[in-house]
Structure 1
């Protein structure tokens, strides 16, 4: 038996929904304001995972332009109907969070293959968020959703509601039934999933918020509509294994609940899977904050092996409820290979983008991205402060010590044209190593621009001349520090661009968000939207 190392999906991979079909395992994760929307990973051994699909890539109904962050696509639920042999994907599109209204629209869609094509999304409801679909033995289908509470004097965030879904009519039928307001006193209940085992319906939820008090909670009932009883040892997985009371507390971060003895932080939002070997695992989100509580990598996906007790409850294989940095692998299943750090090397030699590339708000299309003989051409559009038409593509930062390099050719003719390498959290927080135009000296120059809480700063008052208007740009991260550097060609030595920059503010805690740090390439043009940047290649290297 081999140990599986956590996180199994490092970097921005929150809200996992795990599924097995035969000997194939799949995990779907949230993408929020990033397109194409919903990431699906595949594995044979539960340890090594490959990104294989974006189910919303060809769904024109999904438009994330203008979405407030961290809105967008939330908590996808991946399920499989053994009777019809169809995959189902159920998800929320969060449109607004102002006024604590949480205006969400919930959908489901199906496909004969995990790779698609997927059916047109079917609208379910707007009662709340985090819907999931359960296929009962009798062929009936049920949706459980967090009903978001907006009334004063009522317990927040609300109840888990059960509704029946009729796929022939393509809609929910009957009235919603409130089946629980929480299995613990942690509050902030969400992310419901239904399972059936040995005659019981099991309801798995996330409680305690998305921050340091997060947890996986289990309840059960002989009747799908309840009443549900809580596991006497809830929560079954967490980073804070002690009792605390936070019902009706809207704070999701809860940094005061940080547990210095926990190998993983923020463990919660679980999803259950049984293996072909008859074993059980829960995939859950987690985080690895740096000192000072800065989770720059965002929320990641981890795995814990579980066992059923004689009285029908789930426990972690080691008997505790504290999420671990490793978990036992499947009995008799050797890992295909050792788990390795993620690396993206892209020379843009294909006619389509690598699946690891994501774009914020707007979709990638030929209006601003075209493939050339020697790379990728990107047309500059709105600045990175925009939530509309942004020319930026990025991939998740997956390690604390990462080097990212790109080759760029760009000849601006106006000071409002820029192109280069970007570390990006959201439209208000990023760092941009760029080529731009020095009007006084009529030349291309290099510098670093910072966005912090929506404020823009040029970090280096001295602009570096780039005579050829071409350069290789690099950023190297070392925990909470990032050093930008450059060289004009492959024969030149790397030279620093300014001093190391503190990137701890590009974290969930500092921004009060729950996405993660991304790295990529981008361009803007506030002159005439006519300038183009040519990127020859892009490469990430993660050291451990």
Structure 2
């Protein structure tokens, strides 16, 4: 078997990969999307199945009001003492001199839960991980934030002992074990104990095209005792601008039962418009930061090296002892809303799916109109990741708005400042109409205006479809589900990419989503009813 990268396509950033007996698990960041932390499992590193997310209640995760790309940053999954340990960070500020955040710990004996109520750890820095030493002691390892304008904000890697008796940190033990190098922005630390050394894996260079992972090691956990890997970095694509995979770096190391080694890393697959250089800009990552897996070997000096060079490979040899894992051939989805709970592919913004937002079951998804898609509080949006460059998505919606302040339809969404949609609304002269609109860095454009498409009085519902074709996408509508009309508006997919959002915002860490939404900012909670949802992936 071959590992085909990325193994987790679409927004699956900051992988924390572990193995428990013959099964591998990956935990990924989810930022402002609920539920928190995305989990997958596999027995072959090739085929992966989605698991329920652990942070599924507001007891474990309360993100109401969090900014775009706040919330869950770089969770750390580990296994020790017969249970899973999950450390996660809830970030409340993304821009400016401060990064107000809280790090939490929860545990479970089964990866599918239940997970214990969270233990508050600290707010020293994000990207925290838990290291289980062979002597039984445990330590929190984390990026360290410094707000002082005369210091670099990324102030090294802090190690703090965790007291198992009190289940709290011992702040008096905190020490800086590594400052990184001149690339700066050292973050995402993971510690491993291998062949008499402590190995520290850490990311540098920011989560852009200069991203990289470095390795340092030490015989002790003393202050500033770690030395960096010669001839590094361990993995990067900064010097491979024409390679299919880009931005590789932040990730985690694991071994197979047979003693082989693999490294899971975030990765991106940017594309360019035909009129652009492929080097500047290097491209637009509409699928966000995904997960790749590279094979690792150890050199004669005991340093880890990525097989094939530090740029990595698209096709990687699977473990010799891999156990074939049954998994879907792609990420297509057909949802008739028959069940009383949402499919695992669905996500909501900042809050769980409750009756305040809507209900699902008996063939219907009902969404209660709430605040606009530009709000960071009460938003009735149910969405799933773009996981392919080319796909069609379709739904059928019933909605009876009596005001232009009421809207419901099919959405393509990056964050509260960058999205577009086709929707039913009300026009004072025409009654129910179809409009297409886009929010581009808070510049909102209604494309049809006085040409908004009147909905026939006898049309009980309207069908909407989006056709995404890598660089651009278009919307369609139908009044019978058979005969379709294309709205003559072609939208640039780059606006829904990490790299586009980065130009104006510090919160650029997620990826594009497609989904269903209802808005009633008039405050009358008009309900939209969706009959089905289809997401069909197409070949690149």
1:307 pairs with one of 297, 300, 322? 297
1:278 pairs with one of 259, 269, 287? 259
Q: Which residue of 1 aligns with 2:158?
A: 161
Q: Which residue of 1 aligns with 2:420?
A: 431
Q: Which residue of 2 aligns with 1:268?
A: 249
| Equivalent residues of 1:405, 1:538 under 8 A apart | yes
Answer yes or no: is 1:342 the counterpart of 2:342.
Answer: no
Q: Which residue of 2 aligns with 1:444?
A: 432
Distance in 2 (alpha carbons) for counterparts of 1:33 and 1:87: 23
Distance in 2 (alpha carbons) for counterparts of 1:274 and 1:104: 32
1:475 pairs with one of 466, 470, 486? 466
Q: Paired residues, what number?
A: 520
Q: Which residue of 1 aligns with 2:445?
A: 457
| Equivalent residues of 2:201, 2:215 under 8 A apart | yes
Answer yes or no: is 1:529 the counterpart of 2:524.
Answer: yes
2:483 pairs with one of 466, 486, 493? 493
Distance in 1 (alpha carbons) for counterparts of 2:398 and 2:58: 34
Q: What per-residue deviation string (whole Å, max 9, x for no partner) do you get for residues 88-129 of structure 1? A: 000111011343211111111111111111111111111111
| Equivalent residues of 1:186, 1:213 under 8 A apart | no
Answer yes or no: is 1:515 the counterpart of 2:506.
Answer: no
Q: Which residue of 1 aligns with 2:536?
A: 541
Q: What per-residue deviation string (whole Å, max 9, x for no partner) do you get for residues 221-273 of structure 1? A: 111235111110211111125xxxxxxxxxxxxxxxxx432231111102001
After the TM superposition, which residues 112-123 of structure 1 pair with which residues of structure 2 at under 5 Å, given as runs?
A: 112-123=109-120
Answer yes or no: is 1:129 the counterpart of 2:154.
Answer: no
Q: Which residue of 1 aligns with 2:313?
A: 324
After the TM superposition, which residues 138-157 of structure 1 pair with which residues of structure 2 at under 5 Å, given as runs?
A: 138-157=135-154
Distance in 1 (alpha carbons) for counterparts of 2:174 and 2:211: 27
Distance in 2 (alpha carbons) for counterparts of 1:327 and 1:117: 35
Distance in 2 (alpha carbons) for counterparts of 1:306 and 1:6: 15
Q: Per the alignment, in what secondary structure is the counterpart of residue 210 of structure 1?
A: coil
1:205 pairs with one of 202, 206, 213? 202
Label 1:235 to 1:281 Cα distance change in 2 as closer, same or farther (>3 A): same
After the TM superposition, which residues 402-413 of structure 1 pair with which residues of structure 2 at under 5 Å, given as runs?
A: 402-413=391-402
The alpha-carbon deviation at position 61 of structure 1 amounts to 4.5
Q: Note the residue ranges of structure 2 that are not aligned, 5 or more in a row.
A: 273-280, 503-507
After the TM superposition, which residues 183-198 of structure 1 pair with which residues of structure 2 at under 5 Å, given as runs?
A: 184-198=181-195
User: RMSD value over aligned CA atoms?
Assistant: 1.5
1:99 pairs with one of 74, 96, 99? 96
Task: Point out the more displaced range, 375-384 or 455-464.
Answer: 455-464
TM-score by length of 2: 0.94
Q: What per-residue deviation string (whole Å, max 9, x for no partner) do you get for residues 464-505 of structure 1? A: 122214111100111121110011123x31110222211211
Q: Which residue of 2 aligns with 1:233?
A: 231
Task: Point out the more displaced range, 424-433 or 288-297.
Answer: 288-297
| Equivalent residues of 2:48, 2:325 under 8 A apart | no
Distance in 2 (alpha carbons) for counterparts of 1:266 and 1:530: 43
Answer yes or no: is 1:353 the counterpart of 2:350.
Answer: no
The alpha-carbon deviation at position 435 of structure 1 amounts to 0.7
The alpha-carbon deviation at position 385 of structure 1 amounts to 0.7
Distance in 2 (alpha carbons) for counterparts of 1:62 and 1:14: 19
Label 1:338 to 1:327 Cα distance change in 2 as closer, same or farther (>3 A): farther
The alpha-carbon deviation at position 185 of structure 1 amounts to 2.5
Distance in 2 (alpha carbons) for counterparts of 1:200 and 1:303: 24
Answer yes or no: is 1:415 the counterpart of 2:420.
Answer: no
Q: Per the alignment, in what secondary structure is the counterpart of residue 285 of structure 2?
A: coil
Q: Note the residue ranges of structure 1 that are not aligned, 5 or more in a row.
A: 242-258
Q: Which residue of 2 aligns with 1:248?
A: none
| Equivalent residues of 1:267, 1:284 under 8 A apart | yes
Q: What per-residue deviation string (whole Å, max 9, x for no partner) do you get for residues 133-170 of structure 1? A: 01111111011011112223334411101100013202
After the TM superposition, which residues 78-93 of structure 1 pair with which residues of structure 2 at under 5 Å, given as runs?
A: 78-81=77-80, 84-93=81-90
Distance in 2 (alpha carbons) for counterparts of 1:334 and 1:37: 29
Label 1:273 to 1:59 Cα distance change in 2 as closer, same or farther (>3 A): farther
TM-score by length of 1: 0.93
Q: Per the alignment, in what secondary structure is the counterpart of residue 499 of structure 2?
A: helix
The alpha-carbon deviation at position 362 of structure 1 amounts to 2.2
| Equivalent residues of 1:162, 1:225 under 8 A apart | no
| Equivalent residues of 2:340, 2:361 under 8 A apart | no
The alpha-carbon deviation at position 64 of structure 1 amounts to 0.9
